[in-house]
Structure 1
C-alpha cells in the first residue's frame, strides 16, 4: 500500500522483483491430520482475503415493486440477498460487486428507486 514507505519518509527507487503469494508445507507435517487441518484453515483464510481484493459490499432498501428491475441490472457473486423488512412494501438488498464499478452503479441504483444505499469493505470471501 505504500504506507510503510510514507511513514518512514522513503521512496521507491526501482522494482527488484515481482512475487505472488505461495503457501508451502512440509510433506511430513501435512501428513499429520491435526497439522493438515491447521494448514488448510490458514490456506482458506489467505485465499478468502485474496478473493476479496477489489470487491465491495452494497446494501440498500428497495420498494418491492422496483425489485425485478433493480435485480436485472445488479451484479453479484451469485445472486443478491433479498430480505423482507417490517414494511411489506420494502425489501433489503445486499450484494458484492467489483469496486471499479461501484461509482457508476450507485447513481443508477438511486435513479431506479433504491434508498439507504451503503457501501462497505469486504475483507474475506469464502466460497
Structure 2
C-alpha cells in the first residue's frame, strides 16, 4: 500500500511541490515525461497531472491527496478536505476591467459581460452582492476578452498583476486569496491515512523551519530579563554563561515575519554579536 499524491505536471506549482517533498526527506525517481513515479524511501507514489484535472482525481479516489491551488479547490473541489496551507504559489482570483472603464463599486458589473475561467467562484461572489451578469466561460487567455469586444470585464487568477497591465486592465475586486494547499480525497483508504498523517507531520516541520530563524547573541547579565522578554523562544530562550564574567549567550527562535523588529529591539536592549541562522526543519 502506497500513498498516492498528485502534483501539477507543469506550471507554477510543479517545482515548489517537488522541492517541498524533497525537503521532507522524500526521494522521488522522476524520469523524463513520466506521469507516475515512486518514492525511494517513503511509501508514496507521485502522479503528475494537469492542474484542472486534480480535483476530479481526488473526488474519484484515483489519488489519495494532492498539492494543489486553493483557488482550484474552491472552483472544482466541493467535498475535498484542505489539510494544510503550504505558503507558496500565493495568488488571488480577481475581477478586472479596462483602464478606461469608470468603475466605482461591484454594482457597476450588473448586466455586464464577464469572461472567466472561474464561473463557480465568480457566480457565488456576484450572488452574494445581488448582481446578475452575463458570464462567458473561457479557458486560457482571458485577459484579451475586453480588448476584442467579447466582454466588459474578466475574472481570473492574478499574481503580480503584470499581465493585467500589459492588456490595459485594472484590478477592481479581489474575490479570493489563494495559495498551495495539501488536500485529501474523501475516498482515501484507511490504510493510507497513516501515511498521509506522517507526510503532513513532515510538511509542518519543514514549513515551521522555513518561517523561523535561529538567533544567537551575547548580552550583559543586567539586561537578560529585558532581552528574554523580546525573545520568548518556543518555550523559553537558552541562556549560557560566557567565559567573560557578567555576560551570557542567549539562543532562541524568531518568526521570520517579526525578524527585523526583534533584531532592532535586541540591539536597543544591549545585545551584541547577533548571529542569525536558517532552520532546516523544526519539530515542536
Aligning the two structures, in what range does the TM-score lie when normalised by the shorter sequence? 0.5 to 0.7
In the alignment, the residues of structure 2 paired with residue 123 and residue 72 of structure 1 have an alpha-carbon distance, to the nearest angstrom, of 25
Kindly tell me: are residues 44 and 23 of structure 1, through their superposed partners in 2, closer, same or farther at Cα, counting changes over 3 Å?
Answer: farther
1:60 corresponding residue in structure 2: 217
Question: Residue 23 of structure 1: CA displacement?
Answer: 7.3
Q: TM-score scaled to structure 2, two decimals?
A: 0.33
In the alignment, the residues of structure 2 paired with residue 59 and residue 68 of structure 1 have an alpha-carbon distance, to the nearest angstrom, of 16
Kindly tell me: are residues 110 and 18 of structure 1, through their superposed partners in 2, closer, same or farther at Cα, counting changes over 3 Å?
Answer: closer
What do you get for the CA RMSD once the two structures are aligned?
3.2
Kindly tell me: are residues 51 and 62 of structure 1, through their superposed partners in 2, closer, same or farther at Cα, counting changes over 3 Å?
Answer: same
User: In proportion to residue count, which structure has more strand?
Assistant: 2
Question: Residue 22 of structure 1: CA displacement?
Answer: 4.8
User: In structure 1, the residue corresponding to 2:182 is in which secondary structure?
Assistant: coil
1:86 corresponding residue in structure 2: 243
The answer (yes or no) to whether the contact 2:230–2:265 under 8 Å persists in 1 is: no
The answer (yes or no) to whether the contact 1:76–1:95 under 8 Å persists in 2 is: yes
User: In structure 2, the residue corresponding to 1:124 is in which secondary structure?
Assistant: coil
Q: How does 1:1-127 map to 2 (within 5 A)?
A: 15=157, 18-22=179-183, 27-28=190-191, 42-127=199-284
Q: TM-score scaled to structure 1, two decimals?
A: 0.67
1:8 corresponding residue in structure 2: none
Question: Residue 21 of structure 1: CA displacement?
Answer: 2.2
In the alignment, the residues of structure 1 paired with residue 260 and residue 247 of structure 2 have an alpha-carbon distance, to the nearest angstrom, of 24
Question: Residue 113 of structure 1: CA displacement?
Answer: 1.1
In the alignment, the residues of structure 1 paired with residue 203 and residue 197 of structure 2 have an alpha-carbon distance, to the nearest angstrom, of 10
Question: Residue 87 of structure 1: CA displacement?
Answer: 2.0
What whole-Å deviation, never above 9, does each CA across 1:28-67 have from its counterpart, x for those lacking one? Answer: 467xxxxx6x877655432210222321111100111211
Larger radius of gyration: 2
Detail structure 1 runs of 4+ shifted over 3 Å in the superposition: 13-19, 22-30, 38-44
Task: Give unmatched runs, 5+ long, in structure 2.
Answer: 1-11, 16-140, 142-155, 159-177
Which range is displaced more, 44-53 or 112-121? Answer: 44-53
Kindly tell me: are residues 90 and 23 of structure 1, through their superposed partners in 2, closer, same or farther at Cα, counting changes over 3 Å?
Answer: farther
Question: Residue 73 of structure 1: CA displacement?
Answer: 2.7
The answer (yes or no) to whether the contact 1:23–1:43 under 8 Å persists in 2 is: no
Question: Residue 80 of structure 1: CA displacement?
Answer: 0.9
The answer (yes or no) to whether the contact 1:58–1:94 under 8 Å persists in 2 is: yes
The answer (yes or no) to whether the contact 2:230–2:266 under 8 Å persists in 1 is: no
Q: Which has the higher contact order (CA 8 A, sep 6+)?
A: 1
Question: Residue 72 of structure 1: CA displacement?
Answer: 2.2
